[in-house]
A and B are shown apart, each in its own frame.
Chain A
């Protein structure tokens, strides 16, 4: 029996997010929201552990009311219950304040394993997992590509991605893991799953229920501040030639590279 908590995030489909160059704001209208793809790996990993060893999978998110959809998707995949931390006081949180909010709730529950996605594809920070591990006082194994529990169920054995390849890391429970590509192929929810999801236990938690001093949460509790957002300097296409005469084209290219000091 393993008790697993999976913190998830609803994110915009980032490849469709653009800047309004005139106003300097993000254009999010019409951009679809999805369950963060790395979190899908985490949900799948949790469900697989539960299928093998028995237990319970709790999905948790901190986010606006519409983030409920991300929780429902994870429940449809096979999560058992969901917790939605939602309050205006949580809004504008940076990674530290997000990790704190999650930790304040998760601490109250019993858990053996917390599985996060490696990073959310909107912010790409990969910081919430390790920060949450620290605030919960448990060890962490980041960028997990393979995962198993020891026979006695007291240890995780994880393959963790490194810059050179991978390493095998062991840790006693409780532990926090972050899931990366290759860990599994997340299942698609089927119709039965989607129907059942709506009947599964679902709690909403606001600031009063959480009981944390609001000055530590959300925008106010965030040590980092976004001062400005701007569109990246878009690389523009430069020279473009046809290779009717491949040798001449090659010569022109190598001349260009030599002049630029690139070779």
Chain B
């Protein structure tokens, strides 16, 4: 591994010394020179160089070098200052992996004004929290977050880095993987440590028809994005202690090549996200009329559940696209899933079959949804559902 500098190609534009967060690049006459003792090979200079005069050669890590890579890092995504629920899931799972390795769990927070979450992450299992703050990190941008992450990872050499498989997590992780030439496994639903201390990453492929176990034997850190809602967050332990470290990372606006000019939330007031909910009440074409959605909404309200819909319901505009479950919508795995008047087409099942408990109400006894339902009721949902609502209410009231 090493950095190759082509002094003849270099135009002396002086972008790279500014891009370096490690003070490893200095002006040298009308060109630059590199202090390779300070360089961590994060790749920021290579990316900013307009004439490709800097090249970082990355090789596979050999066996005795692998032992130098220690600790489990988790990227804890925030959104408008709020910690995403997947962050706590990652910290809980990361704790388990770190314990198996006998190593530390390090949580990473990037944003503006987000340090308050560091303590929460410690209560949930982090030994150490790295906090990177700055105005440039207020909105997620691929470029700024990639620079922050590579600047944290490259010098600290973790064994494992995990990200939530959210839209931003899946935008960011591959960018980092490519910059550092690392293996990356997408949207994992299982993570284990094997006898060789490797991370075994399990994920669905072929639309959920097949599961694959994936390893990255020769590159470190081993990186994965993790599907939200698969690992359950643990309870906080307020007696846990940990270290909070603020890390200063400079990113200049010219290094950020995209600009967010508008952010629109399509989340309808009172409409819980299906990806983050423990319980989902999902309706299909059997609901017949948008006015009838009042019934599932009543049940959802009682159970503090999210409202979902099959594709036809969303296509007809009865529910916003954020609530669609299935192959072309969201993938969910709540503790409890109600399928009301949903036939259970394969494209729908792909998005929900890993739910813990599936309840189906459908008047067609042959509906495919029954083949995966833990509890199926064959009947008219308009007569059954009101009874279910009444019974749930009665049971909850009696508690």
Contacts and interface: CB of A to CB of B under 8 A. Distances in A.
Contacts of A129: 174
24 contacts: A15-B346, A17-B206, A95-B184, A96-B181, A130-B142, A133-B175, A137-B52, A139-B142, A139-B258, A142-B170, A142-B171, A163-B273, A167-B264, A223-B183, A229-B205, A232-B209, A235-B374, A236-B371, A236-B372, A237-B373, A239-B376, A243-B361, A243-B377, A249-B387
Chain A interface, >50% SS class:
mixed
Interface string B237-279: 0000000000000000000011111111111000001010001
Nearest to B393: A254
A257 interface: yes
B353 A235 contact: yes
Given A130-B174, A225-B217, A165 B267 contact: yes
Contact of A223 (B219, B263, B353): B219
Contact of B206 (A12, A182, A249, A256): A12
A11 to B, nearest CB: 9
Interface of B: 47, 52, 60, 79, 84, 139, 142-143, 146, 166-168, 170-175, 177-179, 181-187, 200, 204-219, 257-267, 273, 275, 279, 303, 321-322, 328, 335-336, 346-347, 353, 356-359, 361, 365, 370-380, 383-384, 386-388, 390-392, 395-396
A209 interface: no
A230 B375 CA distance: 27
A125 interface: yes
A262 B173 CA distance: 34
A124 to B, nearest CB: 6
A166 B387 CA distance: 39
A142 B143 CA distance: 13
Interface stretch (A47-55, A81-89, A169-177, A191-199): A169-177
B85 to A, nearest CB: 11
A124 B378 CA distance: 34
Interface in A223-242: 223-232, 234-242
Contact of A124 (B167, B205, B346, B379): B205
Contacts of B175: 130-131, 133-134, 140
A40 to B, nearest CB: 13
Interface string A29-67: 000000000000000000000000000000000000000
Nearest to B209: A17
A108 interface: no
A170 B210 contact: no
A7 to B, nearest CB: 14
Nearest to B361: A243
Closest 8 A/B residue pairs (Cβ): A243-B379, A223-B183, A165-B266, A134-B178, A250-B387, A139-B257, A125-B186, A130-B174
Given A165-B266, A225-B217, A263-B303, A237 B370 contact: yes
A23 B324 CA distance: 36
A65 B180 CA distance: 32
A32 to B, nearest CB: 14
B82 to A, nearest CB: 11
A143 B377 contact: no
B143 A232 contact: no
A69 interface: no
A250 B263 CA distance: 43
B213 A130 contact: no
B182 A223 contact: yes
A33 to B, nearest CB: 13
Contacts of A249: 377, 379, 384, 387
Contacts of A225: 214-217
Interface of A: 12, 14-15, 17-19, 26, 94-96, 99, 121-135, 137-143, 161-172, 175, 181-182, 222-232, 234-244, 246-247, 249-251, 253-254, 256-258, 260, 262-263
A247 B215 CA distance: 51
Contacts of B166: 163
B200 A227 contact: yes
Given A161-B167, A241-B377, A226 B212 contact: yes
Contacts of B215: 224-225, 227
A182 B47 CA distance: 32
A156 to B, nearest CB: 9
Contacts of A132: 178
Interface centre among B84, B178, B358 (most CB of A within 10 A): B178
A61 to B, nearest CB: 19
Interface centre among A128, A170, A257 (most CB of B within 10 A): A257
Contacts of B279: 262-263
A121 B347 CA distance: 12
A142 B258 CA distance: 11
A120 to B, nearest CB: 10
A262 B373 contact: no
B336 A263 contact: yes
Nearest to A141: B258
A237 to B, nearest CB: 5
A131 B173 CA distance: 9
Given A96-B183, A131-B178, A256-B375, 9 more contacts: A134-B178, A139-B142, A163-B84, A237-B372, A239-B374, A246-B387, A254-B392, A257-B336, A262-B356
Given A167-B260, A223-B183, A249-B379, A229 B267 contact: no
Nearest to B329: A181
A52 to B, nearest CB: 21
A162 B174 CA distance: 17
Contacts of B205: 122-124, 229
Contacts of B187: 124-125
Given A99-B178, A243-B377, A246-B379, A130 B171 contact: yes
Contacts of B182: 96, 223
Contacts of B396: 263
B214 A127 contact: no
